[in-house]
Amino acid sequence: MRKLLLFLPFFLAGGVLLLIAVRGNKENYAVAEEKEVKTLIYGTGYARNKDYLLLRSEVSGYIKEVFVEEGEYVKKGQVLAVLDSGSLEEGIREVSERLKLVRERSKEGSPYLTALESTTEAARINLEKAKKVFERRDRLFSQGLIPREAYEQSKAQYETAQKEYDRARQTYEDAVMSLRADERVLMAERQRLIKEREKYIIKSPIEGYILKRFVNPGDYINHVGQENRLFSIGSKGWEVWLEVDEEYAGMIKEGQRVNLRVDSFPGRDFEGRVLQVVKEVDRARKLITVKLGADLPQETPTGATVEGHIEVERRRALLIPAKAYSDGHVLLYDGVRRVKVPVKLGKQYGEFVEVKEGLKPGDRVLLP
């Protein structure tokens, strides 16, 4: 169980709280002194980067190149590694070549369009000639100057020329529309392939440090497998997650100072602040989680074990050694006499106890 701890600031540092003197008359006493005291809540947990992620691949393939090492600082969007996208590259080249051909054919004056335009123009000229012949023979026939057979022949030739022209013109228009449609389809396909190729270029989604590199050139990555791990990345700055007994949940507030000890740095103290108290209890262990902002060294390992003392109260209190108190009284000593004085106590701080009523600073109490 996590404990509520009551501490004296300099008692924690190994100093002496109260002056205990031995007088010539052999009386042992302590002086009641007003000191700053703290109420601390103990918790244990771990440290992690403010932003932490395990980078995985969206596609399967062989690692072609790796550009970063563990501990290296990277920027958001920086390329970390590249997977082999050979077949995809071939697809992009093929689509690009087809798109290039379509665009060349679509250009004004291209051989492809020029040939279609020439066919259409020839059909138009042929139509104009057939039309003139038909119109002339139509007048002659109406005047009875040529037989019906000659009239019908010119009419048939004119109608055939009209159909050939309409067909040539429609072929030209269909070809232009088809080229435009092919260009749109090929552009969309190329964009799709290029976007797909981006998945083979592994970039850092955040700014931070490479904590762990899991791959080397030549490794195969199965994007649906359990071993799909490329890099772990952590940002600058740290968070600490402490577990605390749920009975102290109401005492912990945002902004409270926390003294931290990290197993990775024995003998060193660090400072943190409460950022959040998670409003959910682990029913199995009867613990709550407290999130802290912490000033830890950048070389701190992610997941390092941390112990913390959350400072929930700091105030001044009148203190005497606990052993000076007995059955609601202390013996007050003025240098000559002993006077039994009733006192009202508060909290106990290690070997010392708070006096709320009955004494004042400077009073001397006898020790057993």
| Sequence-separated contacts (24+) of 64-68 with Cβ below 8 Å | 64/217, 65/217, 66/213, 66/215, 66/216, 66/217, 68/210, 68/213, 68/231
Distance CA 138, CA 219 (A): 85
Tally of residues, the chain: 368
Round the average pLDDT of the chain to a whole number and report it.
91
pLDDT tens, position by position, 38-90: 889 999 999 999 888 999 999 999 999 999 999 899 999 999 999 999 889 99
pLDDT tens, position by position, 184-217: 999 999 999 999 999 999 999 999 999 999 999 9
Of 5-14, 52-61, 108-117, least confident by mean pLDDT is 5-14
At residue 26, the pLDDT reads 66
Which of the four pLDDT bands, split at 50, 70 and 90, describes residue 22? very low
Which of the four pLDDT bands, split at 50, 70 and 90, describes residue 18? very low
pLDDT tens, position by position, 212-254: 999 999 999 999 988 999 999 998 889 999 999 999 999 999 9
Give the pLDDT mean for 255-279.
95
Distance CA 322, CA 8 (A): 14
85 C-beta neighbours (distance < 10 Å), count: 21
